[in-house]
Chain A
């Protein structure tokens, strides 16, 4: 009898504990906000740029699962350029050259993907898989052959912009300002690129044509839009942006190259595209969400919560926090995907009538 009563009280206490812990959690989030916000955009940058590549590709009707590989190749060749020119040109010009090479690498691989998908009409998922394996091979090969034996580092990183301390220390506004402005040039350019792409895709003739060849290439063809050219241009521009994402990894974020350093970001970008329903702004929000989950994994280690909440959060192993972004992507994909519609001709090569 007494035992039952004790059990009942225990259950009641548990019931009250959940809202209390939730409240504590919200307070904790507010507390760590100044540390959390500045790193979110940095973590989201490569994903957001990759997602922009995915949006431009898929809006024109080309599926590109090779974004991961294109990022990795661009990251490597950008780094290699900085590495090679560092001594003769000095650090900053070498980094700028590296940046240009990374973007050019992206554009060239975009040309290859467009050729395979649009002209050869190869299967686009196989073409993307090929790109991913090739990237691991080529970068690993050259890294082992050239960079590792040299024993020296690259050209360093582009210096980030520094917000004046008075601004960064403002309450509430400070962290938000530093989230967007205490960044390197590539991270800052993300917002501009996203807004420009959104405008171009939905408010210009170019965008209308792009969406037309992605939805109904035959109709677009009959009104005189060059389907092949439109797809080529979108894939190449998109992949150049993915190249910028690669440059971010080696020339702005870390200053070093490691084999396979893209670490799935290109695929997370694809999930962000679906999450954002094939719009630049939507996929950017998806990337920010992912960046937040990753940043949260760091923050719980650096700034652990205290009290009851702290005990609970510490009982979850850090590896689970690290896996959170990936598991979250799976859940989001399962929850969102059924309710969002891709461009109708996504992944389907276009053949003019009368040509087999």
Chain B
């Protein structure tokens, strides 16, 4: 017993603040649900949160199908969480996952549709590759601008998110609209679809878990990973050590975009089967929460993605059966981030003497706010 505790000790030391944050977030969201129930037709109901959370749990882990749904929702979040997390390691805050997701989704859908009759073994990898390339290009743009001019990625990626939505609407309308449908969408992907591995679980989850371990290997075992982490921790030191912060910054955003593009690709090739303008992607903001909750660590991101995947999978059942709006998930997410950012609250409430949560990478992100290029040098 003692041995078991000793082995879990270090993990728990890292994980306890995130776990307590989740508990506290659910508790406060419960208060919100109770108070707001007074304004509905059903009237004040102090037990409503229990009913809602029970439905949430049933919808996400209550049956084989529910678990499959959770994993299907978790797969793009793993890619998205890795995209944000990898950026954070290099001191970059990629809020552009939403846009890179859309570009990747569109590229995969268009390529998949054009290869619809080719054998899956050829068509599916090519469509995935197209999604990855689309996301990578769309991540490269803000990365290059940040590296060269110091334009902060937080603002440029948000602008590119809005632009992606509009330009892809145009692309579907004018370039690749499939005939015979009442609304603009791309043609069916046919043979390019990801094969199922059981129930409605598609191969994307396997790719996502592989990406988790690949990213972990990249960060911990390769020179590039070391450079990424060094640039994130201290750009000046990295430059004096002979690394190339400009190159690393652009490259990291490109890889980050690539991962986000893959999230879009598996969503199209595994779930929706086509791209239509206005497909709502909650993946963008969810990925930020996943990365922050997972402390930018690939294994942490794995668990955080499954948790938020469960929220997304279970929420519709909760809304249908207890009429608690689906948006309560966003509230819980915001609260989790709040408690991670202000871990002081968590430590007071639970009286833990946990080490202070230092999201050290963020110091570089915030520090570069005014637009100092990562080289730190005057140009």
Contact = CB atoms under 8 A, between A and B. Distances in A.
Interface residues of B, number: 62
A116 B366 CA distance: 14
A123 B158 CA distance: 19
A134 B369 CA distance: 22
Contact of B159 (A145, A146, A267, A318): A267
A126 interface: yes
B155 A346 contact: no
B200 interface: no
Interface in B151-209: 151-152, 154-156, 158-163, 166-167, 169-170, 173-174
Contacts of B156: 329-330, 333-334
B272 interface: no
Interface string A40-54: 000000000000000
B149 interface: yes
Interface residues of A, number: 55
A149 B41 contact: yes
A120 B348 CA distance: 13
A96 interface: no
Nearest to A333: B151
Contact of A126 (B36, B155, B337, B379): B337
B341 interface: yes
B3 interface: no
A333 B327 CA distance: 33
Given A120-B342, A133-B333, A347-B367, A323 B162 contact: yes
A318 to B, nearest CB: 8
Main secondary structure of the interface of A (DSSP, over half): helix
Contact of B167 (A129, A320, A329): A320
B362 A137 contact: no
Interface in B20-78: 32, 36, 39-41
Main secondary structure of the interface of B (DSSP, over half): helix
B158 A145 contact: no
A216 to B, nearest CB: 15
Given A140-B325, A342-B371, A133 B366 contact: no
Interface string B133-163: 0000000011001001111101110111111
A140 B78 CA distance: 25
A326 B159 contact: yes
Given A145-B39, A264-B162, A346-B370, A136 B327 contact: yes
Interface string A299-337: 000000000000000000111101100110110011101
A268 interface: yes
Interface string A97-117: 000000000000000000010
A283 interface: no
Contacts of A130: 334, 337-338, 341
A137 B337 CA distance: 13
Contact of B362 (A125, A144, A348): A125
Interface of B: 32, 36, 39-41, 93, 95, 141-142, 145, 148-152, 154-156, 158-163, 166-167, 169-170, 173-174, 285, 288-289, 292, 325-335, 337-338, 340-342, 344, 359, 362-363, 365-367, 369-371, 373, 379
Interface of A: 63, 65, 116, 120, 122-127, 129-134, 136-138, 140-142, 144-146, 149, 263-264, 267-268, 270-271, 274, 317-320, 322-323, 326-327, 329-330, 333-335, 337-338, 340-343, 346-348
18 contacts: A123-B366, A127-B338, A129-B95, A130-B334, A133-B330, A136-B327, A137-B329, A144-B325, A144-B326, A274-B152, A274-B371, A320-B166, A320-B170, A330-B141, A330-B156, A333-B149, A334-B148, A348-B366
Given A138-B331, A264-B159, 5 more contacts: A63-B366, A133-B288, A133-B333, A146-B36, A319-B170
